[in-house]
Structure formats: structure tokens, C-alpha cells
Amino acid sequence: MGRIVVISTGGTIASRWTGAGFAAEADGREVMATAPLPEGITVEVVDLFSVNSPRLTTAHQLTLLRTVHEVLADPTVDGIVVTHGTDTLEESAFLVDLHHHDPRSVVFTGSQLPMGSTEGDGPGNLYDALLTAATTRGLGVLIAFAGRVHAARGTMKTQAVALDAFADPSRELLGKIGFGKVTVLRSPQRPQALPLPAMPELPPRVDMVMHHADGDPVLLNAAVAAGARGIVLVGTGAGNATPEIVDAVRAAVARGVLVALTTRVPAGPVTEIYTHGGAVDLVAAGAVPTGTLRAGQARIAVLSALLASENPVERARVLRAALSEEDPVLVGA
């Protein structure tokens, strides 16, 4: 069915017992040796790095993004599978998706149980990811996990340890895998891909601040003081906070900080309903609402916008475009 390149980055699927806990120590070839190959597929492995995914940096993720583009420059490649730790998989997959313009699929997968576990889920997930990469087109970046196919956009880790770890709480399932077949249930809507960013010497700092009862602007102001060029405010409800935080957002935006507004609620869109510090006031102060994207992916959208331009107005426009169906092609950057 095709030639698939597997990019190995570590995670639980590449983890072994170290005496005190599990750590990603296996290379991509060792990971591939655990899984059967779908009929007609040939595999090549790129060992990019092997780390537990909480240790991933922006530099790691941008290296992965560029590697995906380099691999797809070869027209004889039919698809890509990325093996990745589950903790930050949703972030890396969304970053690649924001910049993905190729009809060939890039499929992320991993596991909840380490290598060698009895009834481990890694081999099955890897088989499904290979099958998905070889047989789907035009769907963007995907996540294959526990017999399900998810669009990268909007999907998040919803289970800390259960095997069926990923879902988009705001949308229906994209597809299912079973009996050697991938069944696509819907077509994801995706904005036009952003251009591939340059590799910055020092990636921009993007922080996340969560609102709660008794929440005040201290942490948001501290992020600005620490040099954050982007902030994701995780509001309550449909994206709400307080008048004091609205003032802090306005001041941050005036300093050129790109502020995105999401919510700590698992499902549903950020919506301008309330004043007195609610989303109505936060958006008026310059925060960009992120729709149904939650904190991790909202941060990636902010990062991509920051990398796209030095102009604060243009950055905000690129962020809004990346969150919607607008054309994000840069103008006047």
C-alpha cells in the first residue's frame, strides 16, 4: 500500500523500566520491532530524539515540524507516522497541522503502556497509525489511538492512564479502525496552512494562566514581566475572569503581548456572553477567543502566530486566521 516514514520522538511507546520509573530509552527501530506491518507497507525510520514528552521544548517541536516537511519533499513517500509521548502529543500534532499543506497524511500515535507490557497498546496503535497513513488523504494531521482516528485540531488527552486516551470533547469522532480498514466518518474543516516558520535562535516565550475563584492578575503580570510574548488565559465558563484581569490583559496587549482566551471547561466554544470581567470585556481588551481549542493547542496557535510576523497587529490577524476558516496568508508582515 505504500512507503511510510516513521519519525520516532520517544514517549511511553519507547519507554523501559529504569528502576525508579519508566523513561523513553528505545530508538525507533526497537519500537517498530514490536509491531506487525500492514500488508503491502514498507517502513523507514527516522530517529529524531527520544525523550519523555513532558520534557519536549519548542525547539524539539519545531525540529519535528521541519523534519516532517523534509520527509514530504520526497514524492515517493506515501505518508508519515510520528511516535510520540501522549502528554504533549496534542500540542505537537496541532503545530504540524497548522503548517501542513500536503494531501498525504501525517499520523501521530503513542501508547499508555510501556514497551514489553503484557497486553501493551503500543503495537496495536502503531499498526493502526501505519494503516491510516497509507490509506487516507486530504485529512490533514491525524491521531490514531485505541482504534480511533482523531483530527489533530481540537483533540486533547482526556484520560490520564486509560488506553482510550484521546478525544475532541466538542466534536464527533473523525474515524474508526478495524478489520484492516480505516473508516472516515466526517471531513475536518481546516484553514489554509501557515508558511513554515524559521528556526529562531530563542523561541518566543508563551505562558498559560488559569483563572479561578479569588484569581487575580499576579500571575499574568508576572508572565509579562518574565518576557512572555504570548499568553493563554484559561478562563472559567465560556471564557470569563474579572475586571482586574481585563485591565491586565489590556495592559499586556498594549505592550505587544499576544493574548488568547480559552476556557478550563472541557467542551464548547469560548463565547462572549458576560461583562464585569467576562469574555465580552476580555475580547474588547484585545484577547483573541480560541473557539473550542483548549489551553495546550491555543498556546501552539499563539506560538505559530508569533513566529509568523514581528508586527503585533499582523500576529493577532494570523492567530484569528489559524483559529478559523479565514485565509492566513501573511500581508504586510
Catalytic residues, by residue number, are 12
Locate 164 and state its grid cell.
Answer: 482510550
Please, what is the angle between helix 58-72 and helix 89-98, to 10°? 50
Report yes or no: 267 and 169 within 8 Å, Cβ to Cβ.
yes
Helices (H), the chain: 28-32, 58-72, 89-98, 122-135, 218-225, 243-254, 279-284, 295-308, 312-322
Contacts of 192 (CB under 8 A, 6+ apart): 101, 321, 327, 328, 329
What is the C-alpha to C-alpha distance for residues 293 and 266, in angstroms, rounded to an integer? 10
**Sign of the CA dihedral 262, 65, 304, 186?**
negative
* Backbone φ, ψ for residue 202 (5° rounding): -135, 110
Concatenating the DSSP letter of every residue in 107-145 gives EEE--SS-TT-TT-SHHHHHHHHHHHHHH-BSS-EEEEE
Report yes or no: 24 and 85 within 8 Å, Cβ to Cβ.
yes
Cα 82 → chain centroid: 13
Q: How many CB atoms lie within 10 A of CB 71?
A: 17
Locate 159 and state its grid cell.
Answer: 484520560
Torsion of CA 300, 302, 305, 310, to 10 degrees: -130
Report yes or no: 173 and 150 within 8 Å, Cβ to Cβ.
yes
What is the C-alpha to C-alpha distance for residues 12 and 113, in angstroms, rounded to an integer? 6
What is the C-alpha to C-alpha distance for residues 104 and 102, in angstroms, rounded to an integer? 5
